Structure 1
Amino acid sequence: MSVNTDYQETVREVIVELFENLSALLVFIVAGVFLVPILLLLVTSVKSKTEIFTDPLALPQELQIENYANAWTTGGFDHYFMNSVIVVSVALVLILLLSSLAAYALVQFDFPADDFLLVFFLAGFMIPPQVLLVPLYTIMNALNLLNTYFSLIFAYVAFGLPFSVFLLRQFFVTIPDTYAEAARMDGCTELQVFFRIYLPLSMPALAAVAIYQFVFLWNEFLYAIIFITDDAKRTLPAGLMAFQGQYAGDWAQLAAGIVIAVTPTVIFFLLFQRQFMRGISMGTTKG
């Protein structure tokens, strides 16, 4: 009996170890599928034109760092980058401020139709942005906002609010009401309760919203190419398309431009990844 038990335990340990090895192999393969194109892009960005066409998979014999300088200056990425920084920064601040205030109101105040309001916000991020392109274009044209930063900022805020309100509301309901009640007893107004209690406690959720929205806004292409026609006001995704058309045969500068375009999102995520994971995992324990 003891022999059979030991044998079963040994078989179980072998199966578990085999499963762990297969899982590690699968993770390695999946990571390779995603990392190989990125590494190829990085290698291409520091190659010469001749090396790209003669041996595209080989490492460069000499690093061509000037590809980045040429893409930044002659390709116009300097003003594309600044345009994206302006539009995304303003839109992100507005999204965080308005969505946190709306989520606080949904949690702390009793509205006659607060459930309907929550459903209304939920319906907002179920509608694809492409469906609203023509109506928004008509509105922006009527307001004379086309070819301005405001057209993108207003559209981005409108699309960013529904998901942000939902996520922050789910986090706010996990904060004990006793904190707000104690602050009110000390004479705090509702805005003071919001800024002194809820905002400091909700930093992980705010970081999660900020990362999610930053990646979406920084890479948004459709509205950026439709609403902005002046090259001097284009954001990075639209500018990258114009750059591709102008330097279609220069794969080295094009790869350098792509690296410049995606680097901010990677850095932003790496800086706030812990808060992002905490914000996503928290706020799901109470509805």
Structure 2
Amino acid sequence: MAQKKKRAAGKAVLVTVLLLAALLFLFPLILIFLNCLKSQSEITASLLALPTQLHFENFPNAMAQMNYLQAFANSILITVCSVAGLVLFASMAAYQVVRRKCLASRIISGLMVASMAIPFQVLMVPSVIVARELHLVNSRPGMIVMYWGFLLPMAMFLYQGFVKGVPRELEEAAMIDGCGQIRAFFRIVFPMLKPITATVAIINILGVFNDFTLPLIMLSSQSLKTLPLSFSVFYSSYLNEWQLIMSGLVLSIFPVLVFFLLMQRNIMDGLTAGALKG
């Protein structure tokens, strides 16, 4: 009986600690949702107070000033093209590096791993200079190409471990039946990379969609701005419209939150599969 009481007490303490930790992590979100329906004067008076009147007009006003639909379309287009190309190039590059046992493959693999140790802040200025010379600045295709370059090393590194686990005999059997190497890759190897493909795609979708720094240094036209970048319209030297900032944050969080809830099982399965494979 005493043992059961100790276990029950320990479980109660654990649940309490977890609930407090969850509340701590959710507090910023609660604060945003609490203030997005307030007026500017109410937010200035107290961030923690409940709204005396619900100002639903904050949302259409924020959407209009942010050019929300255009910014959202830009984010979706850049994210989809960047991640689709990344999955294609990273998987094919990893396949070639793993299957070709030569010095060039080892050098390429080593350079890819070494490049992951370089902080993005170190590459910001050189990247903009190179992008300007290649006429990639202030364009959606330029943004997509830049994301391919920055995200490829990590994605390729993740794919390599999974490609090593695919039996070479399956490819050889397909080639005996008349498949070329490219066809064998897409028919045999790539479908077996589904767990790591889901992991790479989901992680990079969230990362690219929420990215602020690269669009900030690459895009200057208002019509090309992505969703995170469109918040700058609310900030000025003399006044910050906090009720619109909070409403804009909610509008920006909503697509990511919906995507995460819909893909939650795939996210966990992909991360678990990746951990077990490594």
Is this a same-fold pair by TM over 0.5?
yes
The reply on whether 1:189 has 2:180 as its aligned counterpart is: yes
The reply on whether 1:34 has 2:17 as its aligned counterpart is: no
Aligned to 2:127: 136
Aligned to 1:111: 102
Aligned to 1:173: 164
Match of 2:212 among 196, 203, 221: 221
Q: Secondary structure in 1 aligned to 2:103?
A: coil
Shift of 1:11: 5.8
Match of 2:266 among 262, 270, 275: 275
For residues 1-287 of structure 1, what are the structure 2 equivalents within 5 Å?
13-245=4-236, 248-285=239-276
**Conserved? CA contact 2:58–2:243, under 8 Å:** yes
Measured against aligned partners, the alpha-carbon deviations of 1:47-100 in whole angstroms (never above 9, x if no partner) come to 333443445334435543322211112332222222222222221111111011
**Conserved? CA contact 2:136–2:143, under 8 Å:** no
Shift of 1:273: 2.4
Q: Number of residues paired by the alignment?
A: 278
**Conserved? CA contact 1:174–1:283, under 8 Å:** no
**Conserved? CA contact 1:171–1:282, under 8 Å:** no
TM-score, normalisation: structure 2:
0.88
For 2:251 and 2:239, locate their aligned partners in 1 and report how far apart those are by CA, in whole Å: 17
Partner amino acid, structure 1, of 2:196: A
Shift of 1:276: 2.2
**Conserved? CA contact 2:155–2:200, under 8 Å:** yes
Partner amino acid, structure 2, of 1:127: I
Measured against aligned partners, the alpha-carbon deviations of 1:195-217 in whole angstroms (never above 9, x if no partner) come to 22232222221111112112221
Distance of aligned partners of 1:174 and 1:279 in 2 relative to their CA distance in 1, 3 Å threshold = farther
Unaligned runs of 5+ in 1: 1-9
For 1:270 and 1:15, locate their aligned partners in 2 and report how far apart those are by CA, in whole Å: 36
Q: Secondary structure in 2 aligned to 1:245?
A: coil
Partner amino acid, structure 2, of 1:170: G
For 1:216 and 1:114, locate their aligned partners in 2 and report how far apart those are by CA, in whole Å: 28
**Conserved? CA contact 1:184–1:193, under 8 Å:** yes
For 2:196 and 2:221, locate their aligned partners in 1 and report how far apart those are by CA, in whole Å: 36
Question: Sequence identity of aligned pairs in percent?
Answer: 31
Q: Cα RMSD over matched residues?
A: 2.4
Distance of aligned partners of 1:54 and 1:124 in 2 relative to their CA distance in 1, 3 Å threshold = same
Shift of 1:131: 0.5
**Conserved? CA contact 1:171–1:284, under 8 Å:** no
For 1:154 and 1:82, locate their aligned partners in 2 and report how far apart those are by CA, in whole Å: 18
**Conserved? CA contact 2:66–2:233, under 8 Å:** no
TM-score, normalisation: structure 1:
0.86
Which moved further from structure 2: 178-187 or 231-240?
A: 178-187
Unaligned runs of 5+ in 2: none
